[in-house]
Amino acid sequence: MPKPRSLLRLCASSVAVVGLALASGSSMRAEDARTEKSVNSNGGRYVLHVKEPEGGFVRGKPLSLEVRVTRAGDPSATVPGLGLVVDADMPEHLHGTNRVPRIQRRADGSFLVENLYLHMPGWWELFLDVVESPWTERAQMRVEIE
Amino acid sequence: MTLALPFLFAALAAQVAGAGDVAPKAAEPARRLVDQLDATQVQRILRHGPLEPAPPDPTNRVATSDAAAHLGQRLFYDTRLSLDGNHSCTSCHMTSRAFADGLDLPVPAGASERHSPTILNAVYQRWFFWDGRADSLWSQALQPIENPRELGIGRAGLARLLVEDTRLAAEYRAAFDEAPSAAPEDSDRTAVNAAKAIAAYEARLVSADSAFDRFAAALRAGDLDAAARYPEDALRGLLLFTGRANCRSCHAGPLFSDGEFHTIGMPPKGGGKLRDSGRFRGIELLRADPFRGSGPWSDAPDSERAREVESLVQSPEQWGQVRTPSLRNVARTAPYMSQGQMASLRDVLHYYSTLDGAVAAGHHGEQVLKPLALSDGERADLEAFLRTLDGVDPPAALMKPLPKAR
């Protein structure tokens, strides 16, 4: 049987990632290693640019996200003066988080979300509600916690 | 070869080439099962270990002090902490019973509504008691001292004991660089320090290195021969635990507890509806506790850890929720559940299999569990797995009262 070298490397690297995640979140030093995702709000008014936590979404640790909101069709300019409400639920279990996330609006109009705490493995739905008075428009993203 | 785990290689290769081509050399069934683990299974197993050193508790400045742990050990076994002079912490947290008491509900002074949990590995918890109403080991320890249904000597009584007993006084001085005082304005300080010493002792009551830990370590190291020494039925049980039975969704991480609060619909002792308000009231009690981490007696009231209490959500769905117990040493700590309702692991697994008699916590309650309809074999496998979580006891010197004379 030929040795599938690439497979070997593939699983070696996936183990390395597991190993890093186990080393209590000290993984990935370089800032740009964080994944950024774009999420359209449910009503189509906004695009949310969500910088995921360092080391990704992991269970049982306070997580930090950065969220920048732009108008649909104009991805360059952060919309000023907005509010943001963040919550998370496990739709399959009918319960939410046990801790309230802290949200800070920064000078450049983006948001720093801290203390997002997902205590169980499984499917979490993250709700990011953009408040631009008098409207509130929801964006949501699915997060899988191992 | 650095990181590559041969079995992962084998498992992936098997998917590509067909299992027949990579039939394992070793014929034993455990080895075959180990060889067949896929990457997700391995990843999930490795999330349950190793048990690393517990996170520091900045709210207790003597949490790691030898002198304080010494005093704490002295106090833990001292029956003078009880009103009747017959009980100490170890009456309900017995060294011979993995620091639990083997009873459904504790007898001293009677009428406790909750089962005594083990305090082995309690230092890893974030919230203490079944309802999480204490946020440190030291604030926890003050409660039985205060409670007349448990020990009941009270803070003032404890301060007097520390002043009057010359050896305790000397050991207190060694730990805190000051003399104990029972003056009314000082006795709280003396008692809180004593509780911090008890916490320093409890922090050393760690038990790991179970058969499961050795298996996980072997797996992590890619040593399949060592991994295959893990009993085959336990491995099947572990794969159920992390797979179809989904026990890991609450019994998560190296402690086999997510440290959070859930209801599994366990019928209360004596029948009827749910009476224990659990976490719902636990949060209120914690917020009102003058000895909480963010309170005036804390050594780091502004620390991140102390301030976690401020971000806790309180909601009706928490009615009746209790903290997920750790499953380490579980085979040694029967009976089970927050009122000791279940006599054996067999009973527990029967319950998860059928959810017989389950009570509803309310229409807001979380819904995680479904009857698992486990076969007899699956239950036996799960039990075999749970029995591999017995760890090694702490050093013998910590497992008994300190000698009287020094």
Q: For residue B162, what is the domain's CATH number?
A: 1.10.760.10
Determine the Cα–Cα distance for residues B235 and B239; give it in Å rounded to an integer: 6
Residue A123 has pLDDT above 60, yes or no: yes
Range of the domain at B14: 1-54+208-269+326-406
Mean pLDDT of chain B: 90
Q: What is the dihedral of CA B70, B75, B76, B78, to 10 degrees?
A: 130
Please state, for a pLDDT cut of 90, what percent of chain B lies above it: 82
Q: What is the pLDDT of residue B111?
A: 55
Task: Give yes or no: residues B228 and B141 share one domain.
Answer: no
Domain stops at, among B205, B240, B258:
B205
Please indicate, yes or no, if residue B236 is contained in any of the structural domains. Answer: yes
- Token pair of B372, please? 């698992």
Residue B26 has pLDDT above 70, yes or no: no
- Cβ contact B60:B199 at 8 Å: yes
Please indicate, yes or no, if residue B129 is contained in any of the structural domains. Answer: yes
Determine the Cα–Cα distance for residues B125 and A60; give it in Å rounded to an integer: 12
Please indicate, yes or no, if residue B201 is contained in any of the structural domains. Answer: yes
Nearest to B160 by CA among B170, B169, B148, B147: B169
- Cβ contact B328:B121 at 8 Å: yes
Mean pLDDT for the stretch of residues B117-139: 97
Residue B136 has pLDDT above 90, yes or no: yes
Mean pLDDT for the stretch of residues A84-92: 93
Q: What is the pLDDT of residue B12?
A: 39
Domain stops at, among B154, B186, B205:
B205
- CA B62 from centroid of its chain's CA atoms: 21
Residues of chain B contacting residue A11, judged by C-beta atoms under 8 Å apart: 4-5, 8-9, 12, 39
Nearest-CB residue to B249 (from A10, A12, A122): A122
Q: What is the pLDDT of residue A11?
A: 34
CA distances from A53 to A19, A38, A112, A117 (A): 17, 14, 11, 11
Q: What is the dihedral of CA A10, A14, A15, A19, to 10 degrees?
A: 150
Mean pLDDT for the stretch of residues B307-334: 94
Q: What is the pLDDT of residue B112?
A: 63
- What phi and psi values does residue A49 have, to the nearest 5 degrees? -100, 110
Nearest to B201 by CA among B66, B54, B299: B66
CA distances from B187 to A17, A121, A129 (A): 52, 45, 51
Residue B186 has pLDDT above 50, yes or no: yes
Task: Give yes or no: residues B215 and B337 share one domain.
Answer: yes
Task: Give yes or no: residues B334 and B404 share one domain.
Answer: yes
Mean pLDDT for the stretch of residues A72-97: 90
Q: Do B13 and A7 touch (CB under 8 A)?
A: yes
Please state, for a pLDDT cut of 90, what percent of chain A lies above it: 64
Task: Give yes or no: residues B12 and B144 share one domain.
Answer: no
User: What are the domain boundaries of chain A?
Assistant: 1-32, 34-145
Residues of chain B contacting residue A87, judged by C-beta atoms under 8 Å apart: none
Q: What is the pLDDT of residue B247?
A: 97
Residues 6+ apart with CB under 8 A from B312: A98, A99, A100, B283, B286
Nearest to A19 by CA among B227, B42, B223: B42
Please state, for a pLDDT cut of 70, what percent of chain B lies above it: 90
Determine the Cα–Cα distance for residues B2 and B13; give it in Å rounded to an integer: 19
Please indicate, yes or no, if residue B276 is contained in any of the structural domains. Answer: no
Nearest-CB residue to A8 (from B4, B22, B44): B4
- Cβ contact B104:B111 at 8 Å: no
Please indicate, yes or no, if residue B307 is contained in any of the structural domains. Answer: no
Residues 6+ apart with CB under 8 A from B286: B127, B132, B133, B134, B135, B292, B309, B312
- What phi and psi values does residue A50 have, to the nearest 5 degrees? -105, 115
Give residue B288's pLDDT band: very low, low, confident or very high (50, 70, 90): very high
- Cβ contact B289:B134 at 8 Å: yes
What's the per-residue H, E or C state across chain A? CCCCHHHHHHHHHHHHHHHHHHCCCCCCCCHHHCCEEEEECCCCCEEEEEECCCCCCCCCCEEEEEEEEEECCEEEEECCCCEEEEEEEECCCCEECCECCEEEECCCCCEEEEEEECCCCEEEEEEEEEEECCEEEEEEEEEEEC
Give the number of beta-carbon pairs within 8 Å between A and B.
94
Domain stops at, among B155, B180, B205:
B205
Residue A69 has pLDDT above 80, yes or no: yes
- Token pair of B250, please? 């609450």
Give residue B207's pLDDT band: very low, low, confident or very high (50, 70, 90): very high
Residue A29 has pLDDT above 70, yes or no: no
pTM to 2 decimal places: 0.88
Render pLDDT for B255-264 as a digit per residue (tens, 0 to 9).
999 999 999 9
**Is any Cβ of chain B less than 8 angstroms from the Cβ of A109?**
no
Q: What is the pLDDT of residue B366?
A: 64
Render pLDDT for B271-284 as a digit per residue (tens, 0 to 9).
888 889 999 999 99
Task: Give yes or no: residues B124 and B50 share one domain.
Answer: no
Please indicate, yes or no, if residue B316 is contained in any of the structural domains. Answer: no
- Cβ contact B253:B241 at 8 Å: no
Residue B135 has pLDDT above 80, yes or no: yes
Q: Do B2 and A12 touch (CB under 8 A)?
A: yes
Task: Give yes or no: residues B142 and B196 share one domain.
Answer: yes
Render pLDDT for B335-385 as a digit per residue (tens, 0 to 9).
999 999 999 999 999 999 999 999 987 655 566 788 999 999 999 999 999
Determine the Cα–Cα distance for residues B27 and B7; give it in Å rounded to an integer: 15
Nearest to B159 by CA among B173, B169, B149: B169
Residues of chain B contacting residue A100, judged by C-beta atoms under 8 Å apart: 311-313
Q: What is the pLDDT of residue B365?
A: 57
Number of separate domains in chain B = 2
Q: What is the pLDDT of residue A75?
A: 83
Residue A86 has pLDDT above 70, yes or no: yes
- Cβ contact A142:A122 at 8 Å: no
Task: Give yes or no: residues B250 and B376 share one domain.
Answer: yes
**Thinking of the domain A34-145, which architecture would CATH place it in?**
Sandwich (2.60)
Q: Which residues are B100's β-sheet partners?
A: B94
Lowest mean pLDDT among A16-20, B18-22, B65-69: A16-20
Give residue B110's pLDDT band: very low, low, confident or very high (50, 70, 90): low
Mean pLDDT of chain A: 81
Mean pLDDT for the stretch of residues A95-116: 93
- 10 Å CB burial of residue B86 (0-12, 13-18, 19+) is exposed
Task: Give yes or no: residues B179 and B223 share one domain.
Answer: no
- Token pair of B149, please? 């249904």
Nearest CA in chain A to B6: A8
Q: Respond yes or no on whether the N-terminal peptide bond of residue B50 is cis (omega within 30° of 0).
A: yes
Q: Do B4 and A96 touch (CB under 8 A)?
A: no
Task: Give yes or no: residues B38 and B96 share one domain.
Answer: no
Q: What is the pLDDT of residue B4?
A: 40
Q: What is the pLDDT of residue B316?
A: 86
Determine the Cα–Cα distance for residues B96 and B317; give it in Å rounded to an integer: 38
**Is any Cβ of chain B less than 8 angstroms from the Cβ of A60?**
yes
Give the H or E element holding residue B322.
strand B322-323
Q: Do B313 and A99 touch (CB under 8 A)?
A: yes
Q: What is the pLDDT of residue B137?
A: 98
Residue B406 has pLDDT above 80, yes or no: no
Residues 6+ apart with CB under 8 A from B277: B131, B319, B320
Give the strand pairing for A46-51 and A62-71.
antiparallel
Render pLDDT for B222-252 as a digit per residue (tens, 0 to 9).
999 999 999 999 999 999 999 999 999 999 9
- 3-class secondary structure, B29: helix
Task: Give yes or no: residues B14 and B110 share one domain.
Answer: no
Q: What is the pLDDT of residue A91?
A: 87
Lowest mean pLDDT among A17-21, A46-50, A96-100, B53-57: A17-21
